[in-house]
A and B are shown apart, each in its own frame.
Chain A
Amino acid sequence: MPDPVAIIGIGQTQFRATTPGVSYKELMFEAASRAYADAGIDPRRDIDSFVCCSEDLTEGTSIFDEYVPDQLGAVLRPVHTIGGDGIQGLAAAYMQVLTGVFDVVAVEAHSKASNILTPHHVLALALEPGLVRPLGAHPHFVAGLEMSRYLAESGTTREQCATVVAKNRFNALFNDAAAYGADVEVDDILRAAATFAPLTALDTSAPADGAIVVVLASEARAHALGADAVWIRGAGWRSDSAGLDSRSWGTAAYAHLAAQQAYELAGIASPSREIDFAEVDDTFSYKELQHLEALGLFGEGEAGPATEEGLTAIDGDLPVNASGGSLGVGHLGEATGLQKVVEVVRQLRGEAGQRQIEDVEVGLAQSWRGVPTATGAVVVLSRE
């Protein structure tokens, strides 16, 4: 088992549908300032390396890495960007600390989704250019296809998916940072017009803007700083076939394999018993259920019924997306994974206020890079 690596600081901005008064640099500066204050460090002196997560076409700037260092306190420091999501970024920082060469590493991701005027056309650029893109379809068709397949294979119902939406958006009402907290009913969702059947607009998380920074430290440095540490026990990430033609549609294999790696490192043999709560990707309602099963937290076809029975509510046996998930918080692009990590950290620290889950020791955060990818990452965090 690898050495434990600590998360010693978290910082974020509010997440909102639009953030017209501030630039992405100003959002990043706010998140970084908060994270470094939380960690009790000065980035000009104490941080050994910085990892940023972004995609050029989401930003509208090529080689976006150019524009990150100043507002993070990272000028003339080791900085690199990954074309990956926040939990992959966390994994990169985790590995750097494990080498023994870097004691403190910061990870950043943000979303300025409101600044993209043609979001679905940009997303369509991620479709394979030779055979898929020429179909001229809105890229969410991929999610519609997958949802159909998942429902058919697992026996999950649309009602169960709608329950996920209702749960998460309600949870978000207790999260000050969330953009889309609301009391929606299952019927509202079932009655909504289909977008990519069986998906409706209400099954789909809406985008939000915001920035998040997380600071990792080696065990020795965390102790030296007297940090209120939460520990990374294991992490995993996987890319299944990018090709729509060669993937299995019903199960989220990337999540299953990524979790396997994380559990092995964390020494977790029985996840459904040993994980107390989870923040899993819910970009679309059905994804929460599909992911819960792939992560081994519920058996095949059982996540839907479990949700209906309230097992994944904040006061349930295995609370899922107490923060509100992307459905309630807003979809933050590559920062989504870090939003989940931050929630897990807050819960483990006992700082989740009205959404606090009782008696938590071990939490899981999981991300998916979204349509049309089959890439996701998992991290297991614990209090001790």
Chain B
Amino acid sequence: MGLRRVAVVGAGMTKFMRRAMETGRELAWQASSMALESCEMTRRDIDCVVLGTAPDTFDGVHMKGEYLADGAGGWQKPVMRGYVGGGTGVFSPIQGWYHVASGLFDTCLVVCEEKMSTCLPHPQAAFLTIFDNMLERPLGPNLIWIFALEMHRYMTVHGVSKRDIALVSVKNKGNALDHPCAQVAQKITVDDVLNSETLVWPVSWLDISPVSDGAVALVLAAEHVAKRVTDKPVWIDGVGWHLDSAYWTNRDLYYPKYVEYAARMAYRMAGITEPRKQIQIAEPYDPFSYKELHHLEGLLLCGKGEAAQMTADGVTQRDGDLPVCPSGGLLGVGNPIAAAGLMKVAEIFWQLRGEAGKRQVPGKPTTGVAQAWGDLMQVGTVTVLRT
């Protein structure tokens, strides 16, 4: 039996903000309405809803998928909430993909929403509870510890410096100046990054993405519906996701194997054998500057330890050979956890249709990859999109 083809046919998003007046439901509704409007569909045309939203501790609402469902068009529909931490944003369209590819549904609304500002005194405090309850929480860890430990390991194994890595922040925050929803777009230099406050060495203030509120939504459709709805469907040709061991202190953090495995799964499905040649545009997950490099290697878009050089050579600029994070990424647009990943998928969608406005990369790309990461340095979620 042949694989049932599924396309993205519409997309919408809210601004990403440090603190939104809107509730989580309202943000979800805004993004969903825009996505539906963009392809002239209504809630009646939607067969099922996939909701992506990360820790309930931010909102202070238990089983928050239930609470948010109404805002995501879920009333009396089959609603399912997938949850793989930060990987959720790219996992949700994968979950939507299997809803439609199964043949049970013809259309799916994928909504990712995050409202982090609710958590007082600071959302970052909520991350204490992601650590192991027995052996790690008593040490009072801050979320940034694990990134700092991983960044330091990556730098040491490959001989990459903070200066090399800072180029990613410069690129992405600059790219975000052209994104109308961006929260922290700005023109900065490498020295700005190096001189910014050290939080958890080697991580500095300008190496990290902010806390954000925001929502993004996509409309997915089976082939026969997609072709009716739009003359530019963007096909979900490959999906992949892998989760590594919870025992992260038993793993060498210099390389994200789980991203590689997820990428291989997606590439195999999409018939991609030479990713660097066959993929024209990439949106890897960049919550921290070094993660873009880490993930480019995991995505097999360059060899291990080569991402820094690739960046320094300008390959990953918008007008470079392989534009990376033309959206501005999390570093520039913002990081409402689940919505951030979906923003990357939406970016690839708009780029492949030539609708990315000032962010449009030249050369009419036809194949793009979006990737997110999550859990405790563990999950890789990858989608390959094609026109």
Contacts and interface: CB of A to CB of B under 8 A. Distances in A.
Interface of A: 2-3, 55-58, 60-63, 65-70, 74-84, 88, 91-92, 94-96, 98-101, 122-123, 125-126, 128-130, 236-243, 253-254, 257-258, 261, 265, 369, 372-373, 375
Interface in B224-277: 240-247, 257-258, 261-262, 265, 269
Nearest to B257: A76
A74 B274 CA distance: 28
A242 B257 CA distance: 40
Interface in B21-71: 23, 54-57, 59-67, 69-70
B78 A261 contact: yes
A96 B375 contact: no
B148 interface: no
A68 B375 CA distance: 11
Contacts of A98: 101-104
B81 A82 contact: yes
Nearest to A25: B246
Contacts of A75: 243-245
8 contacts: A96-B102, A125-B62, A236-B78, A239-B76, A242-B66, A257-B76, A369-B63, A375-B66
Contacts of B374: 63, 65
By DSSP majority rule, is chain B's interface helix, strand, loop, or mixed?
mixed
A241 B75 contact: yes
A74 B243 contact: yes
Contacts of B54: 63
Contacts of A254: 76
B130 A61 contact: yes
A83 B78 contact: no
Measured as residues with beta carbon below 8 angstroms from the partner, the interface class of chain B is 35 or more
Nearest to B51: A83
Contact of B77 (A80, A238, A243): A238
B261 A76 contact: yes
Interface stretch (B83-91, B150-158, B184-192, B295-303): B83-91
Given A56-B55, A126-B63, A237 B102 contact: no
B12 interface: no
A232 B78 CA distance: 18
Contacts of B329: none
A125 B80 contact: no
B74 interface: yes
B142 interface: no
Contacts of B95: 80, 92
B4 interface: yes
Given A61-B133, A75-B243, A75-B245, 11 more contacts: A62-B57, A65-B84, A66-B375, A66-B376, A76-B258, A78-B241, A125-B61, A129-B60, A130-B23, A239-B74, A239-B78
A76 B61 CA distance: 31
A239 B66 contact: yes
A84 B133 contact: no
Contacts of B258: 76
Contacts of A369: 63, 66
A265 B104 CA distance: 9
B139 interface: no
Given A65-B379, A83-B81, A239-B75, A2 B67 contact: no
A156 to B, nearest CB: 24
Which of A69, A130, A257, A372 has the most B CB atoms < 10 Å from its CB? A69
A63 B241 contact: no
A60 B56 CA distance: 11
Nearest to A93: B98
A99 B97 CA distance: 9
A65 B375 contact: yes
Given A61-B133, A62-B55, A83-B83, A238 B78 contact: yes
B375 A63 contact: yes
A231 to B, nearest CB: 16
A258 B78 CA distance: 8
Which of B98, B247, B261 has the most A CB atoms < 10 Å from its CB? B98
A101 B269 contact: yes
B149 interface: no
Nearest to A3: B1
Given A62-B55, A241-B70, A67 B246 contact: yes
B70 A242 contact: yes
Sorted nearest first, the 4 A-B pairs with minimum C-beta distance are A98-B102, A125-B62, A95-B102, A79-B243
Contacts of A60: 129, 133
B66 A70 contact: no
A74 B379 CA distance: 12
Contacts of B80: 82, 84, 88, 91-92, 237
